[in-house]
Structure 1
Amino acid sequence: MEAIEPAYGTGALLLIAAGAVALLLFLIMKVKLHAFVALVLVSLLTAIAVRFPLADIPDVLMFGFSGTLGSVALLVAFGVMLGRLLEVTGGAQTLADTLIVRFGEKRAPLALGVAALLFGFPIFFDAGLVVFLPIILTVARRFGGSLLLYALPAAGAFASMHALAPPHPGPVAAAEALGGSIGVTLLVGVPIGVVAWYVGVMPVSRLMAARFPVAIPDALFGEVRDTRGNVRGDGEAGAEAGVGKDGAAGGGGSALGGRPPSFATVLLLLLLPLVLISFNTVLDTLVTAGTLDEGQGWVDFLSLLGNTPVALMITVLVALFLVGRPRVSSMGELSKVVDDALGPVCSIILITGAGGMFGGVLRLSGIGTALSDSLSDLGVSLIVQAFVIATLLRVAQGSATVALTTTAGLISGAAAEANLGDFKTALLVVAIAAGATVLSHVNDSGFWLVSRFFGMDEKTTLKTWTVMETTLGLSAFVMALGLWAVV
């Protein structure tokens, strides 16, 4: 659907958006209304307030909901299946033990973050987070303390790569709109993304972990039971995996019986979706850049394999037969394991979809267009203008991708007139991506994904995830601004 012609001026639309966010927070935090119901209700009221034709409102609501649900539901479902298989076979414990032995307890958050940076280069934020979740939870269980100490470095790494580094679609689209080089954008975006993560995420994760003792949620993987149906505590799982107090890994068993899979096997299962998804993202970038011709059969086939739900489905099938089937007596027993993983994530999927509904209503209301028209000529430095516009669009309508691509389109004329060159154009892309990263809140479907995956309420998510996203974006912008000034 296309945005409607705004019925109000920019100021009135911003007041409606602010009122909708305030009402949503009140209903969830004070009234304690379920987040899914609150999001749908506020989306409906907002659609009425901005004067959508009443007959069109159901389609408006479904636009954001179905779009988000279509991308999230399959991804989360296959992701938690893979995570559950790694959990109950002892694979997640094997990988966690290896990380602990190699890096030690104090550097475990850094190790998770570095691994997420590598995985996050070709893989989207939400897909990477889903695949990495069992590893994060297992390491956190091993050492105790706040989950945020281990979760935020990994989540921040995926967010940094997704926002700043081609071949992710946001920076690629922005570079194309500004007439820049995707290769130079890659060479500039990756180092800035890594440094911004280290400066803007790692210290914040330690601070947040000290202030917010977030417990490890059991909603995703629930209680681990052995083949006789007996509940196994985390201590038992660690003991059977052969993990001593010094973190050394040894032999042991899994909840399904038998020894856990080897480190090489677990690494293969994690690398498989990484490689498959790379087919899609990298080939799409090469086609966009004109290096490959569109419509070639082999390109389309590899792109299909690299479609995120397809890649995760293939990985789940491989995991079923590689680590699951050898440890059970029948496929029926294994099907019960993955079926148990699906029930708890229904709420996550629905709430994330409703978050997309709310953001979709704001986007279709025309608030982005009105705001863009008002800010297109701020009379300040182009790179500062790009950051401010992207930030305001991000806050107003929630979608980082929309904020990024819209901002790039708005300033493309000014960028062409300035004749910036590839390096400065890449810095401009970084500034836009930084603005599109900060202040993730309740109109962003990613906010709800993080909130539910990490078992945090909305208030805690605002105080942790939103703050971390902001420090990440600001760190990237400051570096881009500094380089802009000296080049």
Structure 2
Amino acid sequence: MEGWTQTLGTPALLGIAAGAVGLILLLIMQFRVHAFVALILVSLITALLTGLPTGEVLNVLNDGFGKTLGSVALLVGLGAMLGRLVETSGGAKVLADSLVSRFGESRAPLALGIASLIFGFPIFFDAGLIVMLPVVFAVARRLNEPVLRYGLPAAGAFSVMHVFVPPHPGPVAAGELLGANTGTLIGLGLLVALPTWYLSSYLFGLWAGRRFPLPVPDLLSGGPQEIELPAKLPSAGTVILMLLLPLILIFGNTGLDLLTKAGSVNGDAEWVKFVRLLGSTPVALLISVLAASVVLGLQRGRDKVTVEKLLDSALPGIASVILITGAGGMFGGVLRASGIGDAIESSLSGLGIPVILAAFLVAGILRVAQGSATVALLTAAALIQPSVAAGGFNAGQTAAIVLATAAGSVIASHVNDSGFWLVGRLMNMDVPTTLRTWTVMETLIGVIGFLFAALLFLLF
């Protein structure tokens, strides 16, 4: 900050950082303060304790909050709209039925898991799980098989996509804080998510189905639907195309960026700038939402007013996620401006702990302590941001660090995590069984995901 110099030493700054994280956990866990309020309050207290000029505190808070929201809100909002259109068009049922028919009944868990991976790209974990579980239950009931054999691979698929792959808010916000390229993060996120899902969710789900032969619950088995499906359902190919469209555009932008840096393409050419604009993540998602509004909305027999209401209904549920993400960016801004980030960076260097391992461990500790993967991911990313900035890492290594942080944020889901209760209740499991199944699976996702992220880091 211009005209201001930090006079506190490294031990004092590290003590303030530890106290700030502890206060966040205390407020959220003990006093049940909303994470959004807790992060703002602790950001303010931290700024004052570190001696930031009083007249500049509000500017630092607003700057950290605004920079994070500037990118995250667009991606999360448009991603939620795309997911809502896919969800209400009947695409989940169509794609699941198509995959089951192609793979056969013996491979139905694999088919349902693949369908969940595809739908997990734009649809958030909670919404995707609720949309897919009626299909999962119907298949399990038809084949007279235990519910976990089909339910855990599907739930794990939504979890790995939500944890590792943009446009989900966690990897988007962490990528923004650590300076990761979105296209690179999506590509490497998929490389981590897919094998992680197979090892931690699909294979474990098959074992858990045998070990815990729970019957299919009656929940979500029928009755009135919130949104009636259109009479004219889309084909599986159409749904897949709508989900691939933003990926194709984003990867096109990343490819042109690499060609420009290699000197194979003139980056100043207008056509290159235009194509790269179309492939920027917000514009790619905007194009996809517009295309889906026509293909999955108007062409399914819905009028313009209904499509507009469907898009609007996607936004209230993500408001809290967006605000918490912005508040996490505010906390990170205070850590950087006050010099705490530099103190943490120098301490990590002195201890000799690799940044990627430190990111995983810090996120994991925060996750176990307070339950929220988003809060754990954002706080850990903010703490290691100066170390990443000072490390001179390339785009692939930076993305791998984001993924390692995300892996830490998902381990050991237990009673302080809303996802623990959601999965347990929907699949009619008691607490001990949920701990032996869901908690173990989430820990496997975190550990295996970290190992793949670390491998990618070494390869780059």
Shared fold (TM-score, shorter chain, > 0.5): yes
Distance 1:107 1:388, change over 3 A: closer
% identical equivalent positions: 37
CA contact (8 A) 1:404 1:432 kept: no
| Match 2:110 to one of 98, 107, 116 | 107
Equivalent position of 1:69 in the other structure: 69
Deviation at 1:348, TM superposition (A): 2.3
Superposed, 1:136-175 pairs within 5 Å as 136-143=129-136, 149-156=153-160
Superposed, 1:206-355 pairs within 5 Å as 235-236=222-223, 255=228, 257-328=230-301, 330-355=303-328
Deviation at 1:368, TM superposition (A): 2.8
Structure 2 portions without partners, runs of 5+: 138-146, 167-173, 215-219, 367-375, 411-416, 424-433
Deviation at 1:129, TM superposition (A): 4.6
Equivalent position of 2:14 in the other structure: 14
Distance 1:400 1:46 in 2: 17
Distance 1:4 1:151 in 2: 50
Tell me which moved more, 48-57 or 150-159. 150-159
Deviations 1:214-263 (A, max 9, x none): xxxxxxxxxxxxxxxxxxx762589xxxxxxxxxxxxxxx8253221111
Deviations 1:272-327 (A, max 9, x none): 11111122222223333444332221111111111222111111211222221134
CA contact (8 A) 1:277 1:307 kept: yes
Q: Normalising by the residue count of structure 2, what TM-score does the alignment of the two structures yield?
A: 0.67
Deviations 1:313-364 (A, max 9, x none): 1112112222211344631232222222222322222222222222332233
Aligned residue identity for 1:51: G
Distance 2:188 2:237 in 1: 33
Higher helix share: 2
Give the SS at the match of 2:408.
Answer: coil
Distance 1:316 1:152 in 2: 26
Aligned residue identity for 2:57: I
CA contact (8 A) 1:93 1:135 kept: no
Distance 1:204 1:156, change over 3 A: farther
Equivalent position of 1:440 in the other structure: 409
Tell me which moved more, 186-195 or 79-88. 186-195
Aligned residue identity for 2:447: T
Alignment coverage as a number of residue pairs: 399
Deviations 1:111-135 (A, max 9, x none): 257658xx9xxxxxxxx45488865
Deviation at 1:190, TM superposition (A): 8.2
CA contact (8 A) 1:4 1:365 kept: no
Equivalent position of 1:230 in the other structure: none
CA contact (8 A) 1:372 1:410 kept: no
Deviation at 1:82, TM superposition (A): 1.9
Whether 1:475 aligns to 2:451 is: yes
Distance 1:267 1:372, change over 3 A: same
Aligned residue identity for 1:360: G
Give the SS at the match of 1:107.
Answer: helix
Distance 1:46 1:206 in 2: 48
Aligned residue identity for 1:89: S
Distance 2:22 2:83 in 1: 36
Aligned residue identity for 2:18: A
Distance 2:397 2:131 in 1: 39
Give the SS at the match of 2:51.
Answer: coil
Equivalent position of 2:33 in the other structure: 33
Equivalent position of 2:57 in the other structure: 57
Structure 1 portions without partners, runs of 5+: 120-127, 163-167, 176-182, 214-232, 239-253, 413-424, 442-449
Deviation at 1:107, TM superposition (A): 2.1
Distance 2:456 2:39 in 1: 36
CA contact (8 A) 2:118 2:240 kept: no
CA contact (8 A) 1:82 1:131 kept: no
Aligned residue identity for 1:60: V
Deviations 1:50-89 (A, max 9, x none): 2221111112112221122122222222222222222222
Distance 1:143 1:79, change over 3 A: same
Distance 1:139 1:27 in 2: 35
Whether 1:374 aligns to 2:347 is: yes
Q: Normalising by the residue count of structure 1, what TM-score does the alignment of the two structures yield?
A: 0.64
Deviation at 1:270, TM superposition (A): 0.9
CA contact (8 A) 2:68 2:325 kept: yes
Distance 1:109 1:68, change over 3 A: farther
Distance 1:330 1:77, change over 3 A: same
Aligned residue identity for 1:367: I
Give the SS at the match of 1:273.
Answer: helix
Distance 2:18 2:159 in 1: 27
Distance 1:298 1:56 in 2: 42
Distance 1:198 1:79, change over 3 A: same
Deviation at 1:471, TM superposition (A): 0.9
Distance 1:324 1:427 in 2: 38
Equivalent position of 2:335 in the other structure: 362
CA contact (8 A) 2:160 2:193 kept: no
